[in-house]
Amino acid sequence: MMFDRVHARLAALGARARSVLAFVAGALSVLALPPVHALPVLPAAMMALLWLLDGALARARPRSNAFVLGWCFGFDHFVAGLYWIANALLVDAERFGWLAPIAVAGLSAYFALFPAAALWAASFARPGLPRIAALAAAWTLGEMARGVALTGFPWNPMGSALAVHPALIQGAAWGGVYALSFAVVLMAALPATLAGANASGQPVRARIVPSLAAALLFAGLFAGGAARLAGARDATPADAPGLRIVQGAIPQQVKWQPDLVRQHFGLYLRLSRGEPGAATPAAVIWPETAVPAVFDGAPEFARAIAQAAPEGGVLITGVVRRESSRTPGRPAASWNSIVAVDASGRVLGVYDKHHLVPFGEYVPFARFNPLPKLTEGRVDFSAGPGPRTLALPGLPALSPLVCYEAIFPGEVAARSGPRPGLLLNLTNDAWFGRATGPYQHLVAARLRAVEEGLPLVRAANTGISAVIDGWGRVRRSLPLGMRGDIDAQLPPAPAQPTVFARFGSLPVAAFCILILLAALARRRDQSTTGNKI
């Protein structure tokens, strides 16, 4: 059988060749993620990884071999998925360009520890379905851990691969993106039973059954999602609030140049007027730090930006907010904030970002850390108190999110108080150029909309700005790099909160722990069976 021959060659490789192929498989696996969504690549990558594991476990120090193999796979998986981080450092290449390869490699080396731990854990399970189930569970738990460890960075979970079609991500309404990740890794790894230790000496027909089960699971995800979409509320009510989202498309290299501040501000004012004859919206929405100036509470600033507020409505914009310290000798505190003002310049609401980007918005352990802050200004941002709900006239209660706060499952809305009717994400993806990062960021926002069962409105400086309904479908959008505005009515939300909105990721975490324990409990004692892997 062809698969047996391929497996035999992979299992016979030495440590160096095994590591090289793991690097290659890890890099190729990213093609299944946004924006490419080449899903068939992932089973090939996972099959290669598990067949390489067979060879690694047949050598001395098998568990160490498994950990190293998983790390090699994970390292290139993250390098290929996060290469766009280098673009942020190349905005000011003269000062920070040298850090670009170090940052990408360093972050990838750290994030690779989670796939390494997953493969290490799976190596203890019996070959076949127990090992594959253990890998899927351990990988999912690793993604959850990556989302919280060292402030967390749950970017590109495996479940995001399913965003190729809205029907495939509807399962996030029940279990969140991590439930989708478990399904994706399981489906991708099941074809490994076609050969090697995971085939367990089964005849060819029996080996094919798990692959057929993977295909049926994929079809079931699609069918279940399609059924949920069939009951979606597609029609927008006539009295739904009108929104105008402005995308200035100002390159980051010139965004904060002092001699261009008035020009940039004038651009946003012009775009906020909309097309001739357009209806007056309830809200005009600008992206993160749309105004390249500091808001210190002065009424002149509020009156200036209020020129863009529609009559009877609000302007919502990202700003750098600063308050002078009341303690002599202490610097003023600054926040990356969202403010809402009406046409008279009255400030109606303020939200301060609470989940800050290390080195982008503050320097961790600044007293001992020689690395600089990589964005404008030498003063670190302060963290806001946490998720909150804003009540603004003409709009449903909304949960504001700044930049990558939208990537954290279960953390995009306050869990106490009234449930919001809208997620509002203001971001400045200009840092990442025209690479894959902005597309991946958009997919994260779509998944949050499905998880919470709430529409999500996204205003991005250079794109991709979008109006997303509560089923994760993009209703309106502006492409990456395009300057303009979107006029749209707020889409409806599902009538009831989703299961995920009620319980979060805890049920999935408990399920994965039980699967992992069950798989490990059935491991085979090789010393008594005499069976070599």
Query: CB–CB of 486/508 below 8 Å?
Result: no
Mean pLDDT, rounded, for 11-31: 96
For residues 395 and 393, give the distance between their C-alpha atoms in angstroms, rounded to a whole number: 6
Alpha helices in 172-309 (DSSP H): 172-189, 204-230, 252-255, 261-272, 299-305
**Spatial distance between the Cα atoms of 214 and 420, rounded to a whole number of angstroms:** 37
pLDDT confidence of residue 374? 65
* Average pLDDT of the segment spanning 94-111: 93
Catalytic center residues = 288, 353, 403
pLDDT in tens, 135-166: 999 999 999 999 999 999 999 999 999 999 99
pLDDT of residue 296: 86
Our separate counts of H helices and E strands in the chain read: 18, 12
pLDDT confidence tier of residue 530, bands split at 50, 70 and 90: very low
- Higher confidence at residue 184 or residue 95? 184
Are the CB atoms for 326 and 340 separated by under 8 Å? no
Residue 114 and residue 135: Cα distance in Å, rounded?
Answer: 11
Q: What does pTM read for this prediction?
A: 0.94
pLDDT at 369 over 90: no
* Cβ-based neighbours of 249, under 8 Å, separated by 6 or more: 461, 462, 463, 481, 482, 483, 484
Sign of CA dihedral 504, 506, 507, 508: positive
- Return the pLDDT at 532: 45
> Which whole number is the average pLDDT over 8-25?
95
**Tell me, what's the pLDDT at 234?**
84
Q: What is the pLDDT of residue 211?
A: 95
Local confidence band at 528 (pLDDT 50, 70, 90 cut-offs): very low
Would the pLDDT of 376 be above 80? no
pLDDT in tens, 25-48: 999 999 999 999 999 999 999 999
Q: N- to C-terminal Cα distance for the chain?
A: 19
Rounded CA separation 100/93 (Å): 9
**pLDDT in the model for residue 533:** 41
Place of tokens 């993620």: 33
358 vs 116: which has the higher pLDDT: 116
Which of 142, 165, 170 lies closest to 227 in space, CA to CA? Answer: 170
Q: What is the pLDDT of residues 289-328, one digit of tens each?
A: 998 788 888 889 999 999 999 999 999 999 999 987 666 6
- In the structure, what pLDDT confidence band is assigned to residue 527 with cuts at 50, 70 and 90? very low
Q: Which of the two residues, 201 and 183, has the higher pLDDT score? A: 183
Q: Cβ–Cβ contacts within 10 Å for residue 115, how many?
A: 29
Q: Which residue has the higher pLDDT, 424 or 494?
A: 424
Q: What is the pLDDT of residue 417?
A: 86
pLDDT per residue over 46-96, tens digit each? 999 999 999 999 999 999 999 999 999 999 999 999 999 999 889 888 888
pLDDT of residue 449: 98
Buried b / exposed e along 322-348 (16+ C-beta atoms within 10 A): beeeeeeeeeeebbbbbbbbbbebeeb
pLDDT tens digits for range 402-454: 999 999 999 999 988 889 999 999 999 998 889 999 999 999 999 999 999 99
Burial of 476 (0-12, 13-18, 19+ CB in 10 A): middle
Q: How far is CA 150 from CA 128, 145, 146, 289, 528, in A?
A: 34, 10, 8, 25, 42
Backbone dihedral angles phi then psi of residue 425, each to the nearest 5 degrees:
-115, 110
Q: Which two tokens stand for residue 191?
A: 């074809």
pLDDT in tens, 188-205: 999 999 998 888 677 777
Question: Lowest mean pLDDT: which of 209-223, 322-336, 452-466?
Answer: 322-336
pLDDT tens, 252-294? 989 888 899 899 999 999 999 988 888 999 999 999 999 878 8
pLDDT given for residue 330 in this prediction:
65
Can you give the pLDDT at residue 274?
87
Percent of the chain with pLDDT over 70: 94
